[in-house]
Structure 1
Amino acid sequence: MDTLSLYADDCFAVRQAARHISKLYERHLSEVGITPTQFSILSTLDRAPALTMQEMADAMVMDRTTLIRTLKPLQRSGLVSESAEPGNKRRFRLHITAAGEAKLAEAVGHWRTAQASFETSFGEQEAARLRLELFRLTGDHTAR
């Protein structure tokens, strides 16, 4: 059997790095009771209010089923609400609530601490280059 070295496996390297970085952000954001994905949802809705479920799923690069599972705790906590689109009761728009804005404001400092920690250990310029390359890879040109 011809085995591939893990050091030549791009998927493994990216997933391992993502888990490593996610743990750092999870540790800091857990102090305010949200996950990095929930932080990203709140942050996205704060910047782009009233996204449809599909638009949010596309922005988060996740399928709608996973998005719905991730949204449920945010909705139960009153941080995100949804409303049916007029004339199309099957199409929902997502909204950050006042409580969601307050939670996001509380979480931003913890996110900044995690970001600074990563940039200190990895290098600020290296982190910026990495972000650009990852956004280039995913085709997200809004990040520039």
Structure 2
Amino acid sequence: MWQEKDCFCLRLKRAAEELMKTYQKALAPSGVTPVQHIILGNILACKGASLCEIAEAIGVERSTLARTIKPLVKEGYVANVKPARARNSRLVLTEKGEAVFQEAHRLWEQEQDKVASGLGTSGEKTFSDFLQMVGRVSS
């Protein structure tokens, strides 16, 4: 018989929170959170995509992204530009935003390396496979 302490969902949530804390601490010197780092990276990669396109690329609701992006715009990292004759505005990184992203990305890569090293080669593959599987099971 299952007990609450065996709940897969709760155990995964706790593990995710602990892992997020390590990334938050690692990225803190850059001034952005791990989620903001991902957003900045996607804006840079998508080169002038709309809010809806970025939300889809990241896998979040448009309204969630709109709220999360406000501090990035306020800090001057992201500009919301509307090209002439365009129907929708586009998100682009400012020079300041690109510099912050590069610093955050360097810190993120260091943390990725630490986590991967802690998992070991087989653990890293097992963890990645597990995350893929959870995505399929919950769909």
* Alignment-derived partner of residue 73 in structure 1: 71
Tell me what 1:32 maps to.
30
Distance 1:137 1:57 in 2: 21
Stretch deviating more after TM superposition (106-115 or 29-38): 106-115
CA deviation map 1:85-133 (0-9, x unaligned): 6342xx3321111111111111222112211221122224422443354
Determine the C-alpha separation between the residues in 2 that align with 1:43 and 1:131. 21
CA spacing shift, 1:138–1:57, aligned 2, 3 Å: farther
SS in structure 1 opposite 2:82?
Answer: strand
How does 1:109-124 map onto structure 2 within 5 Å? 109-124=106-121
Structure 2 equivalent of residue 94 of structure 1: 91
- Structure with the higher fraction of residues in helix conformation: 2
Amino acid at match of 1:81: A
Structure 1: any 5+ residue segments left out of the alignment?
Answer: 140-144
Letter paired with 1:5: E
Measure, in 2, the Cα distance between the counterparts of 1:31 and 1:116. 18
Q: CA deviation at 1:60?
A: 2.1
Of 127, 130, 139, the residue aligned with 1:130 is 127
1:82 to 71, 76, 80: 80
Q: State the AA in 2 paired with 1:77.
A: E
> TM-score, length-normalised on structure 1?
0.79
1:134 counterpart SS class:
helix
Letter in 1 for 2:63: T
Establish whether residue 20 from structure 1 lines up as the match of residue 18 from structure 2: yes
Instruction: Kindly state the Cα deviation for residue 26 of structure 1 after the two structures are TM-superposed.
Output: 0.3
How many residues align? The count is 135
CA RMSD of aligned residues (A): 2.3
Identity of aligned residues (%): 27
Provide the rounded CA distance (Å) in 1 between the counterparts of 2:16 and 2:130: 14
Once residues 81 and 66 of structure 2 are traced to their aligned partners in structure 1, the CA distance between those partners, rounded to angstroms, is 14
Does the CA-based 8 Å contact 2:82-2:90 persist in structure 1? Answer: yes
Partner Cα distance (1:93, 1:133) in 2: 35
